[in-house]
Amino acid sequence: MGRHHHRISGTTTPGATGAGPSRTNPSDLTRRRLFGGAGAAVLAAALAGCTGGGQLAEKSASAGSGGGGLQWWDQFRPLTKMLQDDLFAPFMKAHPGVTVERRQMDAPDLGQALQVGRRSNQMPDVHSLAGLGGVSPAALVSEGWFQPIGKLADFAGSPVGELLYDGLHRFNGEVYSFPPFSGRWHEAVPWVNTAMLKQAGVDPEEEPGTWDKLREIARKVTTGNDSGAYGIVVPSKETEYLRALVERLAMAAGAPGPGNVDWATGDYVYDSQPYIDAIEFLVSLQKDKVVHPASASMGARDARARWAAGQAGIYLWGAWFIGGLRVDEPEAVERGVGTWHIPCPETTRNFVYSPPSSGTFWVSDQSKQAGTAAELMLQMTTKEFQTSLAEAMDQPPALAAEVIGQAQVHDAYRTCVANFQEDVRIGPVPEVGNPGVWQVLAEMRDIHPNLGDIVQSVLTGASTDVGGQLRRFNDQISAERERALKVVREEKGVEVDLKAWVFGNWDRKKDYGQQDYAGR
């Protein structure tokens, strides 16, 4: 299920899996397969692939029956110890007789396991949405996947109560989830090997600021070491990584966001100059011969391992980068890691835009322990847990600005979170303004080649017509939205039109807050 045209924060579940959030590990599930059910071959593959031979059915049989431990499935590998020590253990101690059984899987495996569990009535009590390919939580709510939790625990009165949005956490007046993570983030943070930069005569504390300066530093690193390392690594095997990277670089070049839409008109902007400039910037790095030559065969986690091994000096990825390093390549953290603001084409700074963070964890409609599950989830909203979440150095917590000061974190992570406060603004989300939007997005068919496909084809030399490909994609996705709008209006009776993507009161310099939706 593609996310190139309707990504919202909740559908790209924040946090790391060791390979990054689910947005860099998309499942290949289609909407028909998601809502209509998977075939026998898919079920068998999911059982074998996710559970090492089919133990899923046996081990999670209690999930839908109310017996046994409370089942919790997610993809947050670097958070394993923190979740156990700071969430599950204290809760079980305070609630004798309650046990929490967590299963962690990589995002694609989790997505398939959820499909299996849904069809066989073996869903966990609590789960994330990683691996479901970007489907809107609203669509899953409408399909009956979840139970509301707002009457089971006081999320509205919790420290994150003001961050609950209609269409993201609240549906038909009922709270179904909450944002444990901050919406103020992006996945194009320059992470640098400080030792390698110093060897090349570059001061890691002196930020490049501009794309040209970053190119210059990458050239110095490539030529200024005796180990054969390269200036930068750009994992190009995963089109989702490339899509996200180019979207963020385009915003740094002046594009609106999130959503790849001009909020003044509602039109898609994939063919605008900032997107062309962003792709050509990546091409320029290749022409400079500063990109690790194996980049085309690397996924995001592969690239992190190469960076950690000292094969590249710079890697653009998310805040979870250092948390993943600490788990899998701690020696790289000891050697020296730093971070910078996202560079812009010129010295003039442009903001990067993200949607408010959506729900990450949801209570299954099959759960017979919904009250216990809701109380457990509520513990994640406390400042104590939010501080522990910051200390895991993964996706910044919802209360990052409040807790980062007392959290025990690496200086580079603290700098990264501080940079987000300066560089990122919360943008509008059409689903919040009009609940009919998610039905349009669910109706839209994937367009290929999409943005990630186009970037990959350019970087691998399969195509050179950047502008032409972007124009075709922009035209195709615009036409597909028009088709979906017509279907939803005429066949489903939903009142929604292109105006749902228009936010005339959007101010580029400010967060688009909840009160702004009523004033559009």
Angle at 72 between CA 71 and CA 73, to 5 degrees: 125
Same domain, 394 and 435: no
Do residues 430 and 500 touch, judged by C-beta distance below 8 A?
Answer: yes
* pLDDT greater than 50 at residue 5: no
Half-sphere exposure of residue 430: CA atoms within 13 angstroms, side-chain side: 28
Query: Which pLDDT belongs to residue 19?
Result: 41
| pLDDT for res 35 | 45
Q: Tell me if 1 is assigned to some domain.
A: no
Do 440 and 364 belong to one domain?
no
Compute the Cα dihedral for 501, 505, 507, 511 and give only its sign: negative
Percentage of the chain lying above the pLDDT 70 cut: 87
Distance of CA 161 to the CA centre of its chain: 22
The answer on 378 and 234 residing in a single domain is: no
Buried b (16+ CB within 10 A) or exposed e, 250-270: bbbbbbbbbbbbbbeebbbbb
Residue 319 identity = A
Query: Rounded distance, CA 242 to CA 262, Å?
Result: 21
Q: Does one domain contain both 336 and 376?
A: no
Q: Given this model, what pLDDT does residue 190 score?
A: 98
- Here the tokens at position 225 are 């070491």
Region 314-341 average pLDDT: 96
> Does 68 map to a domain?
yes
Question: Does residue 146 share a domain with residue 69?
Answer: yes
Q: Closest Cα to residue 188, out of 515, 481, 419?
A: 419
Q: What is the pLDDT of residue 273?
A: 98
Residues 338 and 422 in one domain: yes
Q: Which long-range contacts (CB under 8 A, 24 or more apart) does 101-104 make?
A: 101/59, 101/68, 101/69, 101/70, 101/71, 101/72, 102/72, 102/73, 102/74, 103/59, 103/60, 103/71, 103/72, 103/73, 104/73, 104/74, 104/75, 104/76, 104/77, 104/80
Helices (H), 236-378: 239-252, 273-287, 300-308, 320-328, 330-335, 370-378
CATH number at residue 58: 3.40.190.10
Q: Are residues 442 and 386 in the same domain?
A: no
For 292-322, how does the pLDDT look when each residue is reduced to its tens digit (9 = 90+)? 999 999 999 999 999 999 999 999 999 999 9
Give CA angle at 236 (308, 422), nearest 5°: 70
Residue 129: both structure tokens together? 């949405």
Angle at CA of residue 388, ends 384 and 390, nearest 5°? 115
Q: How confident is the model at residue 12 (pLDDT cuts 50, 70, 90)?
A: very low
In DSSP terms, 171 is beta-bridged to: 174
CA–CA separation, 41 and 67 (whole Å): 29
Mean pLDDT of 435-455: 95
- Confidence (pLDDT) at 34: 52
Mean pLDDT over residues 187-192, rounded?
A: 98
> Considering the domain boundaries, does residue 243 fall inside one?
yes
- Identify whether 2 is part of a domain: no
Q: Mean pLDDT, to the nearest integer, of 109-130?
A: 97
Domain extent at residue 111: 16-181+360-402
Query: Residue 328 falls within a domain, yes or no?
Result: yes
Predicted TM-score (pTM) of the model is 0.88
Distance, CA of 392 to CA of 408 (rounded, Å): 9
Query: Is the same domain home to 242 and 217?
Result: yes
368 shares a domain with 328: no
Secondary structure class of 462 (helix, strand, coil):
coil
**Pick from 35-39, 114-118, 418-422: least confident:** 35-39
State percent of the chain over pLDDT 90.
85
| Half-sphere exposure of residue 95: CA atoms within 13 angstroms, side-chain side | 17
When mean pLDDT is compared across 29-38, 212-221, 327-336, the lowest value belongs to: 29-38
Same domain for 157 and 253? no
Please enumerate in sequence order all residues whose Cβ is within 8 A of that of 137, keeping only pairs 6 or more positions apart, or say none: 10, 11, 129, 168, 176, 177, 358, 359, 362
In a domain, 10, yes or no: no
Does the pLDDT value for residue 24 go beyond 70? no
Domain tally, the chain: 2
Q: How confident is the model at residue 13 (pLDDT cuts 50, 70, 90)?
A: very low
Of 342, 368, 402, at which residue does a domain stop? Answer: 402
pLDDT on residue 180: 98
Q: Are residues 255 and 350 in the same domain?
A: yes
The confidence band for 77, taking pLDDT boundaries of 50, 70 and 90, is confident
In angstroms, the CA 355 to CA 362 distance is 19
Interval 205-249: pLDDT, tens: 999 999 999 999 999 999 998 899 999 999 999 999 999 999 999
Quick check: is 520 in a domain?
A: no
Regarding whether 240 and 191 lie in a shared domain, the answer is yes
Q: 48 lies in a domain?
A: yes
Give residue 9's pLDDT: 32
Checking if the pLDDT of 174 tops 60, the result is yes
